[in-house]
Amino acid sequence: MKKPILLLCAIGLLFLISCNQNGGWVDLFNGTDLEGWEVKGASESNFFVEDGILVAETKMGLPNTFLASTKNFANFELEVDFKVDIGMNSGVQIRSGVYEEPATTPYLNGRLEEGTRDWEVGKVNGYQIEIDPSDRAWTGGFYEEGGRGWLVPLHENEQARKAFKQGEWNHFRIIADGNHFQTWINGVQAVETTDDKASNGFIALQLHSIKNEDQLGLRVLWKNIKIHELD
């Protein structure tokens, strides 16, 4: 019995050493397959790995779908590189979950109009860091998917709107620490805010639904997805 216990201890020690050597950072995407991730929001999706890159590609008939971490996270610093086709809309979910019963919430849409929305069982909900290559350019803004909508839009943050690089790789830095949230796009701070709704949940990447054939085959690419959990 001693040998299996010693082996497990040795594996655990090597893991801790590896984390310490990387400053506590852990890769969430291994560059090879989708180990550690699972689909949320639908029975199927269109996420796959190509040449070491995690790819989300639009497909007719799919609702908003999400590739979610199998582990929940509370307080952390998250970094990710992404590239998005024009005409897409996507985002990075943090502290997210799914509705176990129907819900109705207040909602602020992209035109900053107030209203309400109804949400069905199984709908993904939680904080989203927006990816928006449209002329609006709210990439890095703070949105609540399946909930209140826009919490911090970027209509008054011109510097952050200009930081997004169309057709190139972009970098997110995201901090969730208690009720304090911060986001950066390519080193420019987009959001600093507080909110008390969710204290933990999964991390997920969004593949947005499409309605038109000309949106078929649009892609969001992801790499260097890593996390540092905070005490």
DSSP sequence for 101-159: S-EEEEEE-TT--EEEEEE-TT-EEEEEEEE--STT--TT-EEEETTTEEEE-STT-HH
Cα separation of 178 and 169, whole Å? 29
Classify 33 as helix, strand or coil. coil
Q: H or E stretch including 3?
A: helix 2-21
Q: Please, what sign has the CA dihedral across residues 12, 18, 35, 68?
A: positive
Q: pLDDT, tens digit, for every residue of 27-52? A: 999 999 999 999 998 888 899 999 99
Rounded to two decimals, the pTM is 0.89
Mean pLDDT, the chain, whole residue set: 92
Share of the chain above pLDDT 70, in %: 90
Q: Does 9 score more than 60 pLDDT?
A: no
Q: Which amino acid, one-letter code, is at 113?
A: E
Residue given tokens 């002329």 in the structure block:
135
Q: CB atoms < 10 A from the CB of 3, how many?
A: 7
Cα separation of 143 and 128, whole Å? 5
* Confidence band, pLDDT 50/70/90 cuts, at residue 19: very low
Q: Does 15 score more than 60 pLDDT?
A: no
* Confidence band, pLDDT 50/70/90 cuts, at residue 53: very high
Q: Using an 8 Å Cβ cutoff, are 180 and 42 in contact?
A: no
Q: Does 74 score more than 90 pLDDT?
A: yes
The pLDDT, as a whole number, for residue 174 is 98
The pLDDT, as a whole number, for residue 231 is 82
Q: H or E stretch including 191?
A: strand 188-194
The pLDDT, as a whole number, for residue 17 is 43
Mean pLDDT in residue range 93-101: 97
The pLDDT, as a whole number, for residue 175 is 98
Domains of the chain with bracketed CATH: 27-229 (2.60.120.560)
